[in-house]
Structure 1
Amino acid sequence: MKVIISFTYRTPKGADTVLYSEEMRAPKALLLAEDMERTGRAKNIEFIDTNDNTWTLKELRKQLEEIKTEPHDVKIYFDGGFDLKTKNSGLGCAIYYEQNDKTFRIRRNALVEELESNNEAEYAALHLAVQEVEELGVHHMPITIVGDSQVVINQLKEDWPCYEKELANWANRIETKLEQLGLDVEYELVSRKKNREADQLASQALREVNVSSVKEIDG
């Protein structure tokens, strides 16, 4: 959850003005706002989230306490590979999230036969990841989706048009599910090197090495 801090700043001589912070993660914003409140010069402190909802200090504290016990700060890495010889596709995803002050990682992959291109495999890998997020119970919060596919990332960001029917179907399927879950998505395009974990999972799937795990890791 990201927010902007809105507050009235008042000088010792009584001059005041309304100021706004940059957008930041809610825990950081809460920490800063509490410190500002202690100075006695920041009044009418409010937080504005990405959906233009407004929160008071008390409301945001309560919200963060409730979120703490649920999976949050979710980051998805996805990758898909297509073998021209066998016409098989390998799908891979790694999902990181926080819960109860601990960090967890889910790894999943799958071997599928009905796809026709590498771009379609990339979309299918992201769809697999979104299904895992749904099973995890993640809803109504921001998530980050990371991949090295320029086609998938740029089309979902609507920076590139999507003319191919099959890819458009995958995009619609993914966007519908994200909307149903109430997820506020930030897309991040990275190099293949920075997406190595998901790439390896997709490659393992093509070699018929099944991976399915959930693990607590060092934060």
Structure 2
Amino acid sequence: MKYRIEWKYQPKGNEKVHFTSDWLSSELAIQTGEELDKSGKVSELTYYDEMGTSWTLKEIKKLTVEIEEDPHEVTVYFDGGFHKETNRAGLGAVIFFRQGKKKYRIRANEHIDQMDTNNEAEYAAFYYTLNILEDLGVHHLPCEFKGDSQVVLKQLEGEWPCYEENLNRWLDRIEEKIKALGIQPRYTAISRNENKEADKLATQALDGKEIFAKTQIL
């Protein structure tokens, strides 16, 4: 979770001046807030998280301790592969997150039958990542989802209409799951080259090679 700090400073003989920081990591936000507070020159020091909730410095410090062991700073890459001849799909997911002071990566895939189109495979892959996040205990956090299907991402954002009945069913399932987890999604379209790890996992699933690996990264 990242935070923005807002505070006021009153120069001698002048009205208060309002300042707003950039988005900061929790560690840097706390350090900055403590230094501003110790200076004795600021007032109305308030934190805002990416969900729009406001916090005091004391509350942020307590919150950071409480959630330190929960997964956070989550970025998800997803991709769906589709075999038209067999109506089978391969689902690929790469998930990066922090837990405590450590960073992790999960690589996972799965195959699913009775798919109709490649777009449906992409939706199924997205829903697959949500199930992994739920198992990890991710909740009430902003999460970034990256994929190379602009159609799916734009429909998830609500910018493009979706007319296919089966895809609308996937949309409903995804929206229900996101709401239940309290996730604030951010959707980012990337190139196929940038998504090659999730693509490879989807292909491996179609070839019958199932993978689920959690790795600590530096």
TM range (shorter): over 0.9
- Aligned counterparts of 1:36 and 1:76: Cα–Cα separation in 2: 35
Confirm or deny: 8 A CA contact 1:147 1:190 kept in the other structure.
Answer: yes
* In structure 1, C-alpha distance between the alignment counterparts of 2:191 and 2:12, rounded to whole Å: 51
**In the alignment, what sits opposite 1:56?**
56
Q: TM-score, normalised by structure 1?
A: 0.92
**Structure 2 counterpart SS, 1:161:** coil
Q: Distance in 2 between matches of 1:145 and 1:51?
A: 16
How much has 1:25 moved relative to structure 2?
4.0
Unaligned segments of structure 1, at least 5 residues? none
2:37 corresponds to which residue?
37
State the identity %: 39
CA offset at residue 24 of structure 1? 4.2
Cα distance 1:28–1:152, how it changes in 2: closer, same or farther (>3 A)?
farther
Aligned residues, how many? Answer: 218
Provide the rounded CA distance (Å) in 2 between the counterparts of 1:4 and 1:78: 29
Partners of 1:188 and 1:174 in 2: how far apart? 17
Per-residue CA distance 1:97-118 (angstroms, 9 max, x = gap)? 1112111111111111111100
Q: Does 1:96 align with 2:96?
A: yes
| Aligned position for 2:19 | 19
Find the counterpart in structure 2 of residue 68 from structure 1.
68
Mapping 1:1-219, distance limit 5 Å: 1-13=1-13, 15-218=15-218
- The 1-side partners of 2:155 and 2:69 are apart by 34
Q: Residue 132 of structure 1: SS of its match in structure 2? A: helix
**1:46 Cα shift?**
0.5
Q: Is the 8 A contact 1:2 1:142 kept in 2?
A: no
Which residue identity is paired with 2:132? Answer: E
TM score, norm. by length of structure 2: 0.93
Write the distance in 2 (CA, Å) between the matches of 1:211 and 1:72: 23
**Cα drift, residue 28 of structure 1:** 3.3
Q: CA deviation at 1:178?
A: 0.9
With over 3 angstroms needed to count, the CA separation of the structure-2 counterparts of 1:168 and 1:28, relative to structure 1, is farther
- Are the counterparts in 1 of residues 51 and 141 from structure 2 also a CA contact under 8 Å? no
Deviation, 1:33, is 2.4
Q: Which amino acid in the other structure matches residue 40 of structure 2?
A: G
Question: What does the per-residue CA deviation read over 1:52-94, in whole Å, with 9 as the maximum and x for residues that have no partner?
Answer: 3220001011111212111111111100011122221111101
SS in 2 for 1:210: coil
Between the aligned partners of 1:26 and 1:190, the Cα distance in structure 2 is 27
Q: Is the 8 A contact 1:3 1:29 kept in 2?
A: yes
Matched residue type, 1:38:
K
Q: Distance in 2 between matches of 1:189 and 1:25?
A: 24
